[in-house]
Amino acid sequence: MTQHLTIVNHPLVQHKLTLMREKDTSTAVFRQLLREISQLLAYEITRELPMTTQEIETPLEKMDAPVLAGRKLALISILRAGNGLLDGMLELIPSARVGFVGLYRDEKTLQPVKYYFKVPDNLAERLVIVVDPMLATGNSSAAAVQMLKDAGATNIRFLCLLAAPEGVARMKEAHPDVPIVTASVDTRLNEKGYILPGLGDAGDRMFGTR
Ligand code: URA
């Protein structure tokens, strides 16, 4: 991917996103929509994966058929909301390796604090896709990406559902080499670090907490 920011304007993505933003959308529907959108976003972010060929035999004859090249890719979920994107992506890419980065946001400073880090081996040889639905201040995302770089990752992409301009700018400044794929860049952040108009707290909405 050469572009730093890709906004997926596909009508299905935009329609589903609107339903997710709606405050009266139930937890069950929100979760299902997130699963569906994650697959459409995954389709976009994996568009240029390297390919090779493999000889196979159809019922009629042999052929050199296209298959993905290289090591299995790594999906890294930023807990806990990242898991909502992860589930759908794993249905599409079932052999992907999976890692988790646990960060919580200090409510006062808005800075990320690490509490969990477990990632696949050989990160340097894998495409690493970091998933988190909301790119808000960008502080946790930038910190998570830095941890993955420290663990050896060199080819990283970031997938989110919604981004704030502040988060996109923060990521571009900290990690200009990491392309971002999102369904929307919204207007701004509020004083609590929530994206406006946004959809509220993605974790609460997908897990039914508050
Ligand atoms: N995290 C969320 O879940 N929602 C926001 O608007 C910002 C961060």
**195 CB under 6 A from ligand 1?**
yes
Ligand 1 atom nearest 203 alpha carbon: 3
Return the active site residues. Answer: 105, 109, 201, 204
Alpha helices in 71-197 (DSSP H): 82-92, 139-150, 165-174
Chain position carrying tokens 């923060």: 170
Look up residue 73 and give its DSSP letter.
P
Q: For 83-98, write each residue's pLDDT tens digit.
A: 999 999 999 999 999 9
**203 CB under 6 A from ligand 1?**
yes
Ligand 1, atom 3, residue with closest C-alpha? 201
Q: What is the ipTM, given to two decimal places?
A: 0.95
Q: For 160-192, write each residue's pLDDT tens digit.
A: 999 999 999 999 999 999 999 999 999 999 999
d(CA 76, CA 130): 5
Cα(134) to ligand 1 centroid in Å equals 5
Q: What is the pTM of this model?
A: 0.94
Domain 5-47+72-207 annotated CATH 3.40.50.2020: yes
**166 CB under 6 A from ligand 1?**
no
Helices 165-174 and 139-150: angle between axes, nearest 10 degrees: 30
Compute the Cα dihedral for 87, 40, 36, 38 and give only its sign.
Answer: positive
Q: Quick one: tokens of 162?
A: 């919604």
Domain ranges for the chain: 5-47+72-207
